[in-house]
Amino acid sequence: MASTSFELDLSNMISNFLSELSRFIFVSWTSWPWWWDGLTKNSTSRVTPTLVAAALLAILLYAWLIKKTFTSSVPPLPPGPPGLPLLGNLPFLEHDLHRYFAKLSEIYGPILKLQLGRKVCVVISSPSLAKQVLKDHDAFFSNRDPTVAAIASTYGGDIAWSPNGPEWRKLRKILIQEMMSRTSLDASHTFRRQEVQKMVKEVYAKAGTPINIGEQMFLTILNVIMRMTWGGSLNEEDTIRVGIQFRQVVDEFVYLWGAPNISDLFPALARFDLQGVESKTKKLLSWFDRMFESLIESRTKDHQAGGENKEEEKGSNKDFLENLLDDKTSLSLNQVKALLLDTFLGGTHTTSTTIEWLMAELLQHPEIMRKACKELQEVVGKDNIVEEFHISKLHYLDAILKETLRLHPALPLLVPRSPCTTQTISEYTIPKGSRVLFNVWAMQRDPEAWDNPLEFQPERFMRNAGKGEYKGNNYNFLPFGSGRRICPGISLAEKMILYVVSTLLHSFEWNIPHGTTLDLSEEFGLVTKMQEPLIAIPIAK
Ligand code: HEM
């Protein structure tokens, strides 16, 4: 690969040389007359301009030949639609990028290039190319391409946006060990149980009235993650006040991370922050920061005031924050905050949005809902409540989740990657630092890979369970990404979603309000949610 980047540099040098040379000829030509007259006074001098011109032409031809030789050995950039000078394809982007990219890939193929201001953006939409990038060349493509907003919200280095390196590896390992490993998840199961039972009470109190499912699920997942993170959750009053504010802040954060920003596309203008994206992000971060500071402070005080006895009492039931503050992890204060932020921003919106889509599909397909309830009755029993240990036996519900993630991946373009050196994929050059997107939304609806791809048919995963594994080895199905940067929260997300949904279905009957219709349109974003919030009425069973 080093040679590819050398050839690109060389070809740039030759280009520069050629343009300098032509400028020189042009300047010489335009300033010709005043010395031409002088020279033509004797015959020897009359030959000189002809010789100079011939020599220049020969150099020009030679340089052109060299350029041709080198540039033809460097693979071209991927094909893509023509753009305007300076702005490139920016003016032509459509709002629903995943659909727009799918349309373009029908014209330009499964790897295409867009020029967005100064940024080269490559979109991949075939499983075989996704495999090449995310498996065969994963080491080179495991950097992110963080936007200005993302950089402003990482406390100097988090998991989601840091480049592949020792600090990123360390943070990721700590998150997985202290929160996502089987031991940690088993240890925190009481927290989830209490929060899910609290949710049942809340929904019970609203039985017979319309509920905003996305909002209710966000609050439930938020409470679950809060409990797992620092042992506390919101009481009923705060759930409404703080919880809803929390949702707005997370919504806005996720929006700003993915929002088109002039500062990202024209880095020279970044310091002006023309759209105010950076300052808005910093303001949002300060909202989180105040909360994190007070939690960390009170936890440190607890430690100082006889924490050791308390630790013994808690045994293995320590929360995530406690583990992060443990001296063994040797994390800086900013790294602790960055991990907390990753957990909240990575875990809440994605999970609650997936539950909302899943419930919408069940309401759209009553026969599938009935089948799921029947399975629950058989596995859990009519008079028992769902427990986490039931989940591994709920195969049909598991297939429903997979089918939901296939049709409605929370992150339809994953999180952008960026090669650390210039790479060649499928005979095309992907320059160092370009933004690489994977249109998993399109791949998961590809008729070549899926029968009746637009239909919601969980049975497809019952027939072929391997098709729906989440580890990123089946490149037709990548809702959690793949390779080194695959989502580290899969095990928790799977547990929370299945536990919450099975409880909702086992405890309540669900209907949409009389006289309304379901609208399953999407609102595109880094996290793609339902355009119209799902409203449904629970009836206690
Ligand atoms: C349905 C739920 C979820 C979905 C669909 C989802 C999806 C994803 C995807 C597609 C990526 C990018 C992967 C790639 O680049 O290959 C990602 C990254 C990430 N996710 Fe999740 N996620 C979910 C839940 C969670 C949860 C519960 C957490 C933590 C509590 C979490 C934390 C993260 C983090 C920290 C990253 C960045 C990883 C890195 O860059 O190394 N996610 N997620």
> Ligand 1 center to residue 341 CA distance, Å?
13
Ligand 1 pocket, 414 CB below 6 A? yes
Atom 9 (ligand 1) nearest CA: 480
pLDDT of residue 369: 98
- Residue in the structure block whose two tokens are 């049942």: 200
Pocket test for ligand 1, best of 138, 480, 492, 529 (most atoms within 8 A of CB): 480
How does residue 69 score in pLDDT terms, banded at 50, 70 and 90? low
In a domain, 19, yes or no: no
Flag whether 120 is in a domain: no
Q: Is 310 left (phi over 0), alpha (psi -120 to 50) or beta?
A: alpha
* Pairing mode, strands 211-212 and 535-540: antiparallel
What confidence category does residue 294 fall into, taking pLDDT thresholds of 50, 70 and 90?
confident
Q: Assess whether the C-beta atom of 342 lies below 6 angstroms from ligand 1.
A: yes
**Is the model more confident about 150 or about 20?**
150
Residue 84 DSSP code: B
Residue 238 within a domain: yes
Residue 126 lies in a domain: no
Task: Tell me which residue range forms the domain holding 187.
Answer: 152-540
Whether 140 maps to a domain, the answer reads: no
Instruction: Report residue 84: phi and psi, to 5°.
Output: -95, 155
Question: Can you say how many angstroms the Cα of residue 506 is from the centroid of all Cα atoms in its chain?
Answer: 32
Q: Compute, in angstroms, the gap from residue 413 CA to the centroid of ligand 1.
A: 12
The conformation of residue 328, written as its DSSP 8-state character, comes to G
Is 400 contained in some domain?
yes
pLDDT one-digit tens code per residue, 234-256: 666 666 677 888 888 988 988 89
Residue with the smallest CA separation from ligand 1 atom 11 is 487
Would residue 469 count as lying in a domain?
Answer: yes
Q: DSSP letters along 497-535, please?
A: HHHHHHHHHHHEEEEPPTT------EE-SSS-EESS--E
Residue whose CA lies nearest to ligand 1 atom number 20: 487
pLDDT over 70, % of the chain = 82
Rg (CA), the chain: 29
Please indicate whether residue 498, judged by its CB atom, sits closer than 6 Å to ligand 1: no
Question: Using one digit for the tens of pLDDT, what is the confidence trace for 315-342?
Answer: 556 788 888 887 677 889 999 999 999 9
Decide if pLDDT at 503 tops 50.
yes
Residue nearest to atom 19 of ligand 1 (CA): 487
For residues 487-511, average pLDDT: 97
Tell me the C-alpha distance between 338 and 333, whole Å: 9
Our answer on whether the CB atom of 529 is closer than 6 Å to any ligand 1 atom is no
Complex ipTM: 0.99
Q: In a mutational test of the pocket of ligand 1, which residue from 487, 498, 527 has the highest number of ligand atoms less than 8 Å from its CB? A: 487
Using a 6 Å cutoff on CB, does residue 132 contact ligand 1?
A: no
Which residues does 342 contact at the CB level (< 8 Å), separation at least 6?
158, 159, 160, 171, 175
CATH number of the domain where residue 299 is located: 1.10.630.10
The answer to whether 121 is annotated as binding is no
- Tell me whether residue 132 is exposed, middle or buried, using C-beta atoms within 10 angstroms of its C-beta: 0 to 12, 13 to 18, 19 or more: buried
Q: Ligand 1 center to residue 489 CA distance, Å? A: 6
Residue 347 near ligand 1, beta carbon < 6 Å? yes
Residue 258 lies in a domain: yes
Q: With beta carbons less than 8 A apart as the criterion, state whether 117 and 263 touch.
A: no
**Mean per-residue pLDDT of the chain:** 86
Residues 6+ apart with CB under 8 A from 161: 144, 146, 150, 151, 154
Cβ of 153 closer than 6 Å to ligand 1, yes or no, is no
| Burial (0-12, 13-18, 19+ Cβ within 10 Å), 514 | exposed
In this predicted model, what pLDDT tens digit does every residue of 253-267 receive, in sequence order? 888 988 889 999 999
Domain total of the chain: 1
Ligand 1 atom nearest to 409, measured from its CA:
5
Question: Which run of H or of E encompasses 346?
Answer: helix 333-364
Question: What Å distances lie between residue 219 and 202, 216, 229, 337, 403, CA to CA?
Answer: 11, 5, 15, 21, 24
Closest CA to 224 of 213, 215, 234: 234
Q: How far is the CA of 528 from the centre of ligand 1 (A)?
A: 14
pTM above 0.80, yes or no: yes
Q: pLDDT for 443-463, tens place per residue?
A: 999 999 999 999 999 999 999
Q: Which is nearest to 408 in space by CA: 516, 503, 534, 258?
A: 534
CA dist 65 and 59 (Å) reads: 10
